[in-house]
Amino acid sequence: MSQITKEPVTLAVQLEKNLKKDSFSTVLANFTPVVLTPPLPQETLLDTFAKLAALAHSNDYLNHQAENLSDLNKSVLEKIYHYGVSPKIINQRQVNILNRKTGIDYPTINPDEISIFNSPITNPQGADLGTRMDLFGQIVDQVLEKTYPTNTLAPDDIIHVSCSGYLAPSPVEKMVSQRHWSTTVTHSYHMGCYGSIPALRMATGFLAASHYGLGKPKQQIDIIHTEFLTLHVNLTSLTPRDILAMTLFGDGFIKYSIYPLKEVLSQKSSGLKVLALKEAIIPNSLAEMLWNLSSHNFEMILSKKIPFLIRDNILVFVEELMSEIGLEFAKEKNKLVFAIHPGGPKIIEFIQRSLKIAPEQVAFSHEILTQFGNMSSATLPYIWDKILSAKEIPSGTLVLSIAFGPGLTAAGAIMEKL
């Protein structure tokens, strides 16, 4: 990692000159990732979903085809291995649609244990949306129990980020109600993989407004991401893009807090100081990524063009983001560490090449993808957590984050490691 630690302190000093002296700054700290059930090996998951998908297609098959069932199984498995994300890229994922009683990992999964697909032959679409939302609520209740142990002090606000489950009252509102907290809860829903950036905009805004006269000055805003993406698996369609979605996404849960800078400095704590946040819609890309509700699940449409659209637009976006703090990307890029949302297997490489940066600078994105899959909005915070605790990344280093979602929306942040 030697390349990325060059002169970080000089950079921070240079930066200090560009920023207004009286500006209000906020800091992210206290990252708490929650792994509710141990991640399962990607190979196990590919096999399991192939078995389930074969069962879901067996009715069509029995009515219309001459082959036998084991041939169907084999052909589905081949298709899933061909179009799916390989175990080299995603080693394991957290999957909470399994009815596992224990947390113990095991090599084979009985399809009967897949809660939303308990009779794939007769009901290939699986549980309807209402049932899946109920399961979302149950799982997130468990996440909150772990994230907010008894006697946790109430934060001023909690921003609940999700693109996978919408309930009202939400599990977060339930918790706040049961604990008689005066915490304000805000839903930050349906923004997809870039969801952490609008949440940071909200948190920074809520703190800034409160410190400049709107109510009492707030001291702590929590952001919690609950992305239960495997809830939306669809077995009835086996197009390449559906297989990609089935093999790419993992469940991800993580909480962190945003504080006014003064608060963090007085406690000499570490954290990530927010310097710039930016979102922009990439032109002529409206139809390339969709995330919409249907009767049984939320449906994702991912076109093959996405990596290329990102490749062709990312440099300008990153240059504009850097210019928000008065820095030239070309001059500074070798000193930066990157948090790139691994939208798909190719995204990190494409961005790395477009920005002409070193593989070491994007290592954390690879690491999280390999260990957890694409956790939608929870992914960047997992990467931030790694960067904050990495001893080889010194204080003063700037962290440049990028994520994408429907629009196509590109979202970015620059933060300084304190």
Binding piece for its own copies, criterion CB under 8 A, among 92-100, 116-124, 178-186, 353-361: 178-186
Q: Does 214 bind its own copies (CB under 8 A)?
A: yes
Q: To the nearest whole angstrom, how small is the minimum distance from the Cβ of residue 54 to its own copies?
A: 25
Of 93 and 273, CB closest to its own copies: 273
**Cβ-count burial of 327 within 10 angstroms (0-12 exposed, 13-18 middle, 19+ buried)?**
buried
- Collapse the DSSP code of 99 into the 3-class scheme (helix H, G, I; strand E, B; otherwise coil) and give the result: coil
DSSP string, 294-345: -SSSEEEEE-TTHHHHHHHHHHHHHHHHHHTTT--HHHHGGG-EEEE---ST
Of 341 and 386, CB closest to its own copies: 341
Q: Pick from 32, 123, 189, 219: which binds its own copies (CB under 8 A)?
A: 189
Q: Pick from 101, 180, 268, 391: which binds its own copies (CB under 8 A)?
A: 180
Q: Does 128 bind its own copies (CB under 8 A)?
A: yes
Binding piece for its own copies, criterion CB under 8 A, among 49-57, 272-280, 302-310, 344-352: 272-280
Structure tokens at 389: 């605790």
Q: Does 205 bind its own copies (CB under 8 A)?
A: yes
Instruction: For the beta carbon of residue 111, count every other beta carbon within 10 angstroms.
Output: 17
Cα–Cα distance measured from residue 227 to residue 127, given in angstroms and rounded to the nearest whole number: 18
| E strand segments, 133-183 | 157-162
Task: Name the nearest CA neighbour of 377 among 230, 186, 167, 161.
Answer: 161
Of 4 and 322, CB closest to its own copies: 322
User: For its own copies, what does the binding mask look like between residues 27 and 66, x meaning CB under 8 A?
Assistant: ----------------------------------------
CB-based contact 294:125 (threshold 8 Å) = no
- Collapse the DSSP code of 367 into the 3-class scheme (helix H, G, I; strand E, B; otherwise coil) and give the result: helix
Return residues touching its own copies (CB under 8 A): 19-20, 22-25, 128-130, 133, 163, 166-169, 173-174, 176-178, 180, 182, 184-192, 198, 201-202, 204-209, 212-216, 274, 276-281, 283-286, 289-296, 299, 324, 405-407, 409
